[in-house]
Amino acid sequence: MKSKLNIVKIGGNIINDEVALASFLKDFSELEGFKILVHGGGKRATEIASEMGLKPKMINGRRVTDEANLEVVTMVYAGLLNKNITAQLQQNNCNALGLSGVDANCILAHKRIVKEIDYGFAGDVDEVNTETINVFLQNNMTPIFCAITHDKKGQLLNTNADTIASEVAIAMSDLFNVQLNYVFELKGVLETIEDGNSVIKDINLNKYEQLIEQGVISEGMIPKLHNCFSALKKGVQKVKIGDASLVKNEANLFTTLSLK
């Protein structure tokens, strides 16, 4: 029987809040068994880009990464955020290992092909190096991935952190019974956006399609849920979406996604 592996993805809303981040990292440290953390960016990248005189450019909610902005996200995601998160986890006695996709060739990607929009140095994931990630896990290390990958031709690439989490989850399902946990600012997928407690506890593939048709799921949630169902179809055992309490044992309000 495969061992359980928890993959947790956190986004900017926690990273931007020092107290919330410290509290989450304490809970994550206490999570038992094999685990991986994937973190997104947060506002510090935007602030630093602005201090350096750069203007961030967004299309469809995705950052368009020119060379100067790639430099900033590499510094902020792989340097500042990744190492500070790793240091805090080490303080909590979690043997965290901060990684980007380039390190030991963990996540191979290619520069997104230009169709209508040129996203610049945005990476789409091709391959996750499960063997190496398993070496880390089996040697009592907890990989902490930032959302920077590479193309093995020397080019770093800025990659969507939700996608990294789902691609790592899918690939690691060959070796583990994987649970993927998306932590974000809400308690789960909401029935009514105005009511933060109107969490839809269970969504299967049929219901997901119905909810989109009914317009219940907002535009911002669709790519996130798309990633989740894609992960489930490709072998991930369970996907949970909720706020930071998701990593605590006593969490009781969150959305569980399943195929059937």
Phi, psi of 125 (to 5 degrees): -70, 135
Of the candidate residues 23, 90, 256, 258, the single one contacting a second copy (CB under 8 A): 90
Contact status: 237 vs a second copy (CB under 8 A): no
Give the total of residues touching a second copy (CB under 8 A).
42
CB atoms within 10 A of CB 167: 26
CB of 127 to a second copy, least distance (A): 13
> CA nearest 159: which of 39, 54, 44?
39
Contact status: 39 vs a second copy (CB under 8 A): no
Of the candidate residues 66, 71, 124, 127, the single one contacting a second copy (CB under 8 A): 71
Return the residue matching tokens 């649970």: 179
Strand order in the sheet with 96-99: 96-99, 142-145, 34-39, 4-10, 177-183, 238-242, 255-257, 202-203
CB of 95 to a second copy, least distance (A): 6
Nearer to a second copy, 97 or 169 (CB): 97
Cα distance between residue 224 and residue 59, in whole Å: 16
Q: Label the pairing between strands 255-257 and 238-242.
A: antiparallel
CB of 47 to a second copy, least distance (A): 10
Calculate ∠ Cα 126-128-131, nearest 5°. Answer: 145
Piece of the chain touching a second copy by CB under 8 A; list 154-162, 212-220, 226-234, 241-249: 154-162
Contact status: 141 vs a second copy (CB under 8 A): yes
Of the candidate residues 30, 33, 52, 55, the single one contacting a second copy (CB under 8 A): 52
Residue type, 251: A
- Find all residues with CB under 8 Å of 145, minimum gap 6, and list them: 36, 37, 38, 39, 99, 100, 101, 106, 107, 164, 168
Contact status: 147 vs a second copy (CB under 8 A): no
Rounded to a whole number of angstroms, the distance between the first and last alpha carbons of the chain is 23
Of the candidate residues 3, 95, 197, 210, the single one contacting a second copy (CB under 8 A): 95
Distance of CA 121 to the CA centre of its chain: 19
CB of 126 to a second copy, least distance (A): 14
Contact status: 239 vs a second copy (CB under 8 A): no
Piece of the chain touching a second copy by CB under 8 A; list 46-54, 58-66, 176-184, 195-203: 46-54
Nearer to a second copy, 100 or 255 (CB): 100
Nearer to a second copy, 86 or 166 (CB): 86
Residue numbers of the site for a second copy (CB under 8 A)?
48, 51-53, 71, 74-80, 82-84, 86-88, 90-91, 95-100, 102-105, 132, 135-136, 139, 141, 148, 150, 152-156
